[in-house]
Structure formats: structure tokens, C-alpha cells
Chain A
Amino acid sequence: MLLTSCSYIPLELPLAAGLPAKRLFVLDGAEVDADGLLPRDFCPYARALMREYDPGDVLAIAGSCDAMRRAYDAIRYWGLAADVFYLDVPRTADEAAVDYFAGELRQMARHIGVVGPAGQVEEQSLRLACEAMNKARAAMAEAAKSLEEGTLRASRLLQAIMDVNELMGDVARWGMTWNREEGFGREVCDALTRAVRAEIEKALSVSVQPPALAGRVRVGVSGTCLLDLSVVECIEEAGLEPVFIDSCMCQRVYDFSVDVNPSYDIYMELARSYLSKPGCPRMFAGDERIARLGALAAMYGAKGLVYFAPKFCDLGYYDFPDVKRGLRESFGLPSLLLEGEYGAGRTGQVLTRAVAFREMLEGRGEPNGA
């Protein structure tokens, strides 16, 4: 299996090589031994990656930030994984960056082609893998619409996306036998698409009736990495209703698609789509992020933004003041910064702050959706 550290690493490539793949969400946090490998004042997610990997796993680490760069070094240096690949992800999405990233993706394809059962990444397989991922993303985006309608809790959506992610790596649940030496064929594409849709439908089947969410103050959630589900659950417990989650565990995973038109270079299209997807704070795209968050808030009727930054996440720490100022000045929206380690949402301190934010928002006017 191929495990990835970042939403900028396309799962399409390993799938095309016959390798099941998933994003490595380490929801239970760091193991104790991490202290000896990375400093304590370090990104909790990077520290959580410090663990022994299965000898058959390939780990793909993106150069997202300083912390992930050192996590890559530590995993290699201490021999935690048998095979670790570093993907250099540009910080802009201009044509030169797209061209460079396409080259990096080709290099990644060569690397995993060697270790994958298919022997190489065939273009046809890659296009089908892109198609399957496009459909998976579309299914997740469709489910997210239920947030706007108030029939699905954000924590449930987040759980569904985690479940889909797990499904991606568990071929046995795809409802067919995948001859992985043949790469990613039409039959596999259809099976994966069906399995993802079924997983999403399962999530939607436990949706709540609109009255249950009526009267709650709508907010957006943003940040770098949410680490786990606890922060969103905490926000809900505080009486707020997250209506969008701009995170690499949620919207930034599904809110884009790859153009599979056969007349285009598929690597260029992959590179363009991934670099142009809703941006993470690591990217440099002027005020695009702020404009996007403001537009999302307007679209979903959010009255404020809860920003979560994992403790010691420099990119989040630099992003928040910009977002706070931009949303206040351009959209009149207040923001709340929450920061913490794994399980931050299970602490009384964070809950108290979320409740205080709700009280502040309620004091500003009638909650939306009443």
C-alpha cells in the first residue's frame, strides 16, 4: 500500500501502478517514541508519523513545510519505513510550477511503477484512476451539500471522508478481485466508484432532520490540518453548526477534479488540478484563500470562522492573522483561533472558547437558519 502525508499527493498515481493507496491520517496521535526522533515543540502530525511501517508499505511525503521535510528525514534516517518517497510540491500554481510539478509526478510514477504490481504506470490506467478519483471527489462534494441543507452534521461528513479514505486502501471492500498486475482497468474504476458511493450513502443514511440543527449558529472551519475529529465535534457540542470545513481532511480533498481529456498530457493535468485546488496555507496565492473563505461563508450563511492550527504549525500561525484580518475587513466576519495537539477538542478549555465564540456570535444578531 502507498501511504501519503498530504492532500497534494495524487492517489491516482499509485492506483494506476496497481497499488492501493490512502492518505495517512494518524488519528490517535504520536507514539511515545516520537520524542526521541523529533522535538516536542514540533508539529503533532509530523510527530505522529514517527512509527514503524509495514515492510510492504511505500510512504510518500510531500515537502509541505519545514516540519514535514524533517519528518521525511527522520523516517529515512531511523529506518521506520522500507521505502520513502519525497514529493517536491511547488508553492505556486503558475505554468512554470505546473510544468515542474508534472515532472515531479512523472518521477514519482517511475518510482512507484518499479515497486507496484503493474510494473509501470500506464497512461490509460492513470486516466482511469483519475476518473475514479474524480467520481469519488464528486460523491464527497455531493454529500457536503447536505451540510448546507442542514441534514448532515459536519462531524459525520468528516467521518465519511475518513471512511472513504480507509476504503481506498482496502481493496477487499471494493466488491471485486483486482488483478493488480494489469494496472487500473475499467472494471476496477467502476468497482471503486460504486464502493465509494455506497460508503457515502451509508453516511447520509444517518443524517438528521433539519429541525435538529435549526437555530444553531452557522460557522465555517478552516486551518492547516485538523489532526482528528475532536475539534469539529467540540464545535458542534458548543452549539455551533459547521457548514464548511476548509481542511486537508475535508474540502481540500474533494473540491476539484482532473481533466481526463485524452488530448491533454495527463501529468500536466494532474499537476495543474492539484496545484490549483483550494489552497492550503502553505501556498502563495495572494488573497485567494481569504476571498474563497469569504465566498464560502456567504454561500453557506456562516456567521464566523473557527480556525484550528495544530500546535507549533508555523504555516497555520502565519495564516491565521491574515485570514482574521481579511475576513473582518472584507466580509465583516469574526474568527476564533483554536490550537492544540491531538484530542484538542476533548478539552474543556477548547470547549469553553467555542462556547464563548457562540455567545459572541449570538450577540451580533439572529442566528442563521432559525
Chain B
Amino acid sequence: MSLSTVTPSEPKTWGLPYRIVVEPRLSVPRWLSPAVSVGAVILALLLGGVVIQLAGGNPIESYIHIFKAAFGDVGVFSDTLVKATPLILTGLACTLAFRMKLWNIGAEGQFFMGAWGASAVVLFPLLPANTPAILMIPAMILAGFLCGALWGLVPGFLKARLKVNEIITSLMMNYIATSWVLFWVFGAWSERGFQMSPTFPKSAWLPRLTDYAAQVKAFSGLTVHLGLVFGLVAAVVVWFIMNRSQWGYEIRLTGDNPKAAQYAGINIVRNTVLLMMLSGGLAGLAGMSEISGVVHRLQGSISPGYGFTGIIIAWLAKLNAFGVILAAILFGGLLLAGREIQPSGIPRMLQGIILFTVIASDVLLRYRIRIVKS
């Protein structure tokens, strides 16, 4: 290689002796995807810091405050996990659907329907109030899952049979679901005219760690409930379905190239309906776990947007089921601690910025960007 050879076309270097080269990646190392997600979150925190500074706050102090309020001790971490529980389930719901490029924006509505279905068991009542927990809880799980699945079935069926855009239908179904819940809490299930149902009997409550404080002292005051276990089990199941099962293979193939899936003999219509039902069911389970584990009654305000946050979480986790758990804990912490600084502004902003940086960082997975001497 002769040094006398000159570069043919001088690239724009803006006077710098370096230039940026963008090349498509031939392979993506395993560690890269999580690393990029972590990097995106850090960048989002930096950008958020700038905004906090501009708003007259001290970003470093604010972040330390947030961290302490979310992860500072066992007590607050337990509260963070409580917030993370519905997020894990809605995040998994979105992950499943997004893998087949079914844009289920309806996890929020499916969450509400799940909560409604679980409540119906207690409030109609489908089971008498003195039913033991061992029967009551599974019945509520089933009802919550089925109602969420029903809310996923509608857009899924319309998509599969009539090619109706699932983004629109699943989004619109959210409004129906929230109104449906309001209709019941204002009407038939209203407690003495208040906009909420009566408190559920104890047998309809998911067990919490603090309930066992008599046996284990350390559990005292810890509000983590059984719903977290649902979330963790669901993550394992979703991971297994996606990566180890035939059905998961069909979903990945259909998501990547529907025409190839048809060519491979895959029944796309059936899978679309089933997947939307399963996705809706998981979001419904999140709703069940929230009212049975935390709220203990049905009311209008049971979700600060768990279903919508699930979309961000799925994306931050790069549609990896275990990543969803970590992302949900991060967002659970933000949700909990954010409230300490400001009821709505900064935490919501951080969520938004994280979604932006995460989506933008995708380019790093597809391309390698190098700085070379020109």
C-alpha cells in the first residue's frame, strides 16, 4: 500500500483530521443490544438533567433524590416493585404482540378490562363473599385474563379477517374500556354514591409480604404482593414461547416477513387472533393483579398509564422478556420517586425522553459508526 496514494474525494472534515464512517453491521454481538439500551437510558437522564437545570432545579440532587426514593432501602424498593408489577405484565403484553409487528396500543384498555373482570367475580358476585382465597384468587385471575383477552380479540379478529388497522382499533378500545369501568363504579357497583366500589373481602386480596410479618419480622411493611410472581413467571413463559417453541418461531417469522410465513405454511390469521388474545390476557392479568394486590376495590383511577408505559418498556427491553423485568423496575422507580419531586412533569418527561433515545439508538444495532483518520 503506497503512502503516496491520495484520497480521491476529500470528504467534508470541517477542518478536522478525522471523519465519521457509517457501515452496516455484519453481526451483532450479544452484549451490544443491552449495552445500547443502558446507554440510551443514561443519555436520556443527561438530557433530562439539562431540562431540570433549565427549569431551575439541580439535576444531580434531583437524581440522587429519585434514586434514594426508589431504591434507597428495602421499604422503598418494595414499593418500586409494586409499581413495577403491572408494568412487567403490560410490558410483556406489548413485547408479545410487537414481535409479530402487531401494534397493540390497547394494553391500557385491556388492563382496565382485566380489572373489571376480576372485580366482577367479587362484585356481581359470581362467587359468594365467603369463598376461600384459594378459589377466589384463581377465579379472579381467570376472569381478568379472559376479559383482557376479549379486548385483544376484537382488534385481533378485525385485523386478521378484515385487515383493519389494529393501532386504531386497539387504541379506541382503550376509551371504551375506561368508560365501561366508570359506568360500573358510578352505577351498579358504586359504594354509597362514591365513584368507587366497596372494598373487596380479604379473600379477594393477593397475599403481600407484610401479611406474613407475624412469622418473619423483616417483612413488616413490605407491600410487594403475589402479582410480582405472576410477572416473573409470565416473563419466563413469554421468553420460552418466543425462543424455544414452534409457535414463537412462527410469530418471529411472521413479524419479519409475512410473505415468507405464508410460504412456510403458517396460518397467519389464526396466529394474529391468538397472539392478540394472549397479549390482551397478560395486560388483563396486570389489571387483576393491581386491584387485587394494591387497590382492593374497583375505581376509575387505577392506572397512571400502565398500559401505555408498557409500550415504552417493551421497546426499551428490545422485545426481550427478561429485559422487560429490568425496564419495568426502572420505570416503577421513576413512577414512585418522580412523584416525590413533581406530581407529573419531570417523571413523564423522562419517560418520553427515554422512549426517544431508545428508538433512536436502534441505529447503533444496525450500523457501526467509526471515527477514522482521514
On whether the two chains bind one another, the answer is no
What residues of chain B have their CB less than 8 Å away from a CB belonging to chain A? none
